[in-house]
Structure 1
């Protein structure tokens, strides 16, 4: 639900490839010059360059309920960025996926999550979520293997598929008889259960 609301923001969502970091920064400057956005913090692209660190920030996954899911998302994104960067450096063409298709894929993922069908990134056709995840891991396998993350990524995907994700967990709590406030408190406990109290 939050991702659907998020897309109402004026700069949120996917975009066509910029072609270079310079073109990206020029687009951001142009957007800021409109006065609609206050600062770079309001650039809500699904993925953006950090204005502070040499990193790619992603927004499309929103907030994960369980810390392990957050680690899985970060692991997969890092591997995907490395895979595409290597392909670009070697002169391979960047995969072109129309923004409209990306919006459809995001909507389908928000609606069905890992329990339904997702759009295959290569064919843009619906496939079982497990097949979509398998294709993603296969695409980024070299980068995952080099960082020692391949087995961890596979195990994380297996956990998400088995548990249905954070949305399923929240619905199960509610349908199990918890009031909404109790569900929120339980979600806070789940999210922080492995946190170090000294931090």
Structure 2
């Protein structure tokens, strides 16, 4: 079980020990949750955050997003933004599949660019996850649905923080025109 305290103290030179009564065999890791997010910028409008969680329990047995899920997310972004899109992908294998390449090649309104390997400082979504991390720290989740609800709540709050979204985009050294 996770102790109910987040901080403790002990004498200098001695490691603190927090004893917890009871036992729990249910463990859930945040790493088991797949989440896809897009930070979107359209000149003259506010920046947007579009996201989709993918729980582990999918009907097809897959534990992460497929290229079709990313396709659906891009279609949702296109409907909300009403314009052409330029996704800037990291090197996730799902972004590089043949199905995704065929989908992008068949759309005139869609042009994809690939980030170099290990270039997390160029990916604005990585900054979004960093901004979300403090709201998720020191928390024990009872089940996957509790985790998904907490992530959605945190991302929903970030959706209305256009200054944070703009900061994540400009942190990548992208030049954004003033609104």
TM-score (norm 2): 0.26
Select the structure with the greater relative contact order (CA < 8 A; seq sep ≥ 6): 2
Determine which structure has more spread, i.e. the larger CA radius of gyration. 2
More helix by share: 1
Normalising by structure 1, we get a TM-score of 0.24
Higher relative strand content = 2
